[in-house]
Amino acid sequence: MKELLEKRNALLDELDGVLAKAQEEKRAFEDAEISRVKEVKEEIRKIDESIKLEEEVRSLEKMNPVVNEGKNEAEVRALEEAKEERAFIDFIKGDVRALDVASNGAVIPKSIANKVIDKVINISPLLSEVEMFKVAADLVFPIYDYTQHTTAYATEFTDLTASGGVFTQITLKNNIIGTLTKIGKSLINRSEIDVAGYIVNAIAKSIALFMENELIKGAGGTGKLNGLAQIGAGQITTGATTLVIDPAELVSFQMKVPQALQGNAKWLMHPQTLAYIQSLKATTGQFLMGTNLSENGLFMLLGKEVMVSDAMPQIGAGALEIFYGDFSGLYVKMTNDVQIQVLQELYATQYAIGVAAFSEVDSAIVEVQKLIAYKGK
């Protein structure tokens, strides 16, 4: 189709040239020009028909075989996934030679890889809040500093002063992460064990813990993720007292996120930091943050849900103890599939197999106004 479109554009350029020449010379079309215009129009008509037919052919879909008659799309897909999982387990056990052999390993079916992605998102509360892009190519986000774009009173016959606002950009690339799980064959040979589920969960938990840590502490640089720790200095509030978090400071701190962005805002802190805040009491002995430690089964603080993570720094001098805001301001790029291979021979002498998983990820705070941080003094 690309070649057809290029040819069509070239023919249109030719018509434009004929028309421009006649207008420049202020004359009617010559016989040769009229004949050529008709030929070009016919060629364009044929190209348009070819493009239309090609699009129609591509839109046609193959019909499911009769064996799936009476089943809806979800049921058919479930049967296909079950078949793939059985083939995967049979291969691990050595009942079949290979699924798709490559480099002393075998590529796991896509249905298994998709489950790994799903498990990662469910395990990590932060991952479920960020703005996720499941693409392989680099992503470039233009950023405009609107604070440098000024509006002022204008006077007739007086020039306006140009604003100094400029565009910058943030690029998310492909940083490779990997995890390796070893599984004893004695476990695999037990029919009562959900082998596929065990592998998926083991890999998912490992990736989730790594991603959680990097999305919080990531220092950036070549081949590494930019985490919340890279938040700009203008978005950081420093506590007034060493190793103390004052309730009044939290109230003021929360209001530094613009009201328009408060709708999906949440807190992120270490479990011990939340315990410290929830235990604060007045001189009368009453809890300052309310008598209820939870609401609807969730930790709540000043009307907003609290996410807790062991990867967050605990209360300490200079530590970014608390993050608050709409965490969709943190952008994460992850390839659509986790690339997984089964290593049969590498651990054969240990009566075990290995399952290696790789993914390509990157992250950065793109919408800076959505997030703020509280820093211990």
59-94, pLDDT tens digit by residue? 676 655 555 555 677 777 777 777 766 666 666 655
Query: Residue 61: what pLDDT?
Result: 61
Is 88 inside any structural domain?
A: no
In a domain, 367, yes or no: yes
pLDDT at 97: 46
Residue 322 phi, psi dihedral angles, 5° rounding: -140, 135
* Residue 152, pLDDT score: 78
In a domain, 342, yes or no: yes
Q: What is the pLDDT of residue 237?
A: 97
* Spatial separation of the C-alpha atoms in residues 281 and 136, rounded to whole Å: 51
In this prediction, residue 198 carries a pLDDT of: 74
- Average pLDDT (108-135) is 76
pLDDT at residue 140 above 90? no
In the prediction, which pLDDT does 99 show? 43
State which of 41, 59, 77 marks the end of a domain. Answer: 59
pLDDT at 254: 96
CATH code of the domain in which 186 resides: 3.30.2400.10
65 located within any domain: no
- Non-local (6+) Cβ contacts of 305 within 8 A are 266, 267, 298, 299
Q: Quick one: pLDDT band at residue 103, thresholds 50, 70, 90?
A: very low
Residue 51 sits in the same domain as residue 157: no
Query: What percentage of residues in the chain have a pLDDT greater than 90?
Result: 29
Q: Are 206 and 263 contained in the same domain?
A: yes
Pull the structure tokens for residue 201: 């969960």
Shared domain for 55 and 126, answered yes or no, is: no
Same-domain pairing of 42 and 191: no
Mean pLDDT of the chain: 81
Asked if residue 72 is part of any domain, the answer here is no
pLDDT at 26 over 80: yes
| 346, 227: one domain | yes
Q: Which candidate, 261, 236, 268, 245, places its Cα nearest to that of 372?
A: 236
pLDDT at 227 over 70: yes
The residue that leads in pLDDT, 326 or 61, is 326
Is the pLDDT confidence value at 9 over 90?
A: no
- Tell me the residue range of the domain where 312 lies: 96-377
Please determine, for residue 289, whether its predicted confidence score (pLDDT) is greater than 50.
yes
- Residue identified by tokens 């998926």 is 200
Least confident of 87-101, 129-143, 178-192: 87-101
* 183 lies in some domain: yes
> Which segment, 8-22, 97-111, 320-334, is predicted with the most confidence on average?
320-334
- Say if residue 178 is in the same domain as residue 327: yes
Of the pLDDT bands very low, low, confident and very high (cuts 50, 70, 90), residue 131 is very high
Q: What is the reported pLDDT for 123?
A: 65
Question: Residues 9, 116: one domain?
Answer: no
Which has the higher per-residue pLDDT, 314 or 147? Answer: 314
pLDDT value at residue 101: 41
What torsion do the CA atoms of 119, 125, 128, 134 make, to the nearest 10 degrees? -60
Are 177 and 129 contained in the same domain? Answer: yes
Contacts of 229 (CB under 8 A, 6+ apart): 216, 217, 218, 219, 320
Distances (CA, A) of 255 to 129, 139, 216, 261: 20, 32, 22, 10
186/351 Cα distance (integer angstroms): 8
Note the pLDDT of residue 110: 67
Clarify whether residues 148 and 50 are in a common domain. Answer: no
In a domain, 258, yes or no: yes
Rounded (10°) angle between helices 110-123 and 73-93: 100
pLDDT exceeds cutoff 70 at 293: no
Judge whether 53 lies within some domain.
Answer: yes
125 and 18 in a common domain = no
pLDDT at residue 100 is higher than 70: no
| Greater pLDDT, 118 or 373 | 373
Structurally, the chain folds into a number of domains equal to 2
Say whether both 123 and 271 belong to one domain: yes
103, 45: one domain: no
